[in-house]
Amino acid sequence: MRRKIILALGVVALPLLLRNLYVIMFLVPDEMEQGPIYRIFYYHLPAFFTAALCYLTALVASVLYLAKKDQKYDAIAVSATETGLAFAAVNLITGMIWGRISWGIWWAWDPRLTWALICWLVYFGYLMLRSAIDDPTERAKNSAVLSIFASASVAVTWKAIEWWRTQHPGPVLSIRTGGVQKIDPAMEQMLYVNTVALLLLGLIFVLVRLRQEEVQREIDALRRYAHAMN
């Protein structure tokens, strides 16, 4: 059943991603001040939204694991965190490319950029912690606790573009500026459409990774059983 859902999501996501790529590259006009490089914004921001949603999913799954002690929630948490890290990396890399063209430097120790990097490092620590614990129950418990703490860094990253007025551009979406239109409505609409496409892609990644995690756990259980029988 899940395989069919993944395939169905893929059938929707792939044409949407290709169509968006075509529209972004060939149909939308250049931005007045930034020129063609602004197009990277259609991937930079949706990648952050997808990563934030993945981290939120990991937080909910971690809390549920601590409440119910069911390993399936731990599997959801790790799948969502890994996917979130991949999208957060896309967010950071696209931001760096934009910075190189617009500011002339790959990286600035700007609070907003720094928070995004801290957030990435904190979740990378989550994966490192998992790899250092052998016992599945202990691993799930400690990872869930760390995920709860790590979610605080996501909240700060989310608010960072409002709290600190620095080099990084401020909020431009009307949903975050209280309805004030700071970019062309057509550009904003395209951004939402691409956000949907990346969210679908993120969901596919989480489901595939979840299947891998479940298979891995079955193999581990069988291995332990075989070991006990001998």
Partner 1 sequence: MTTLRHAATIAAKDLRSEFRTKESINSTLSFSVVILLLFSFAFDPSPDMIAEFGGGLLWMVFAFAGALIVNRSFARELPNDCIDVLVSSPASGAALFLGKAVAAFVLLFGIECVCLPVFGVFYNITWWRSIGGLLGVLALGTWALACAGTFFSALTVNLRLRELMLPMLLYPMLIPALLSVMMLTNTLLTGQAIPDDFTVWLRLLIGFNVMFTTLSVYLAETVLVR
Q: Give the binding site for partner 1 (CB under 8 A).
A: 66, 114, 118, 121-122, 125, 128-129, 132-133, 138, 141-142, 145-146, 148-150, 152-153, 156, 163
Give the shortest CB-121-to-partner 1 separation in angstroms: 4
Return d(Cα 3, Cα 200) in angstroms, integer: 15
Nearer to partner 1, 19 or 159 (CB): 159
Q: How far is the CB of 205 from partner 1 (least distance, A)?
A: 24
What is the Cα–Cα distance from 138 to 71, expressed in whole angstroms?
11
Q: Which is nearer to partner 1, 13 or 113 (CB)?
A: 113
By beta-carbon proximity to partner 1, the closer residue of 13 and 82 is 82
Length of the chain counted residue by residue = 230
Strand partners, 31: 35
The CB-of-158 to partner 1 minimum distance in angstroms stands at 14
**Closer to partner 1 by Cβ: residue 145 or 196:** 145
Give the nearest distance from C-beta 204 to partner 1 in angstroms: 29
User: 116-119 long-range contacts, Cβ below 8 Å, gap at least 24?
Assistant: 116/48, 116/88, 116/91, 116/92, 116/157, 116/160, 117/92, 118/153, 118/157, 119/55, 119/88, 119/150, 119/153, 119/154, 119/156, 119/157
Closest CB to partner 1 among residues 105, 152: 152
Compute the least distance from the CB of residue 125 to partner 1, in Å.
Answer: 5
Phi-psi region of 159 (alpha: psi -120 to 50; beta: other; left: phi over 0): alpha
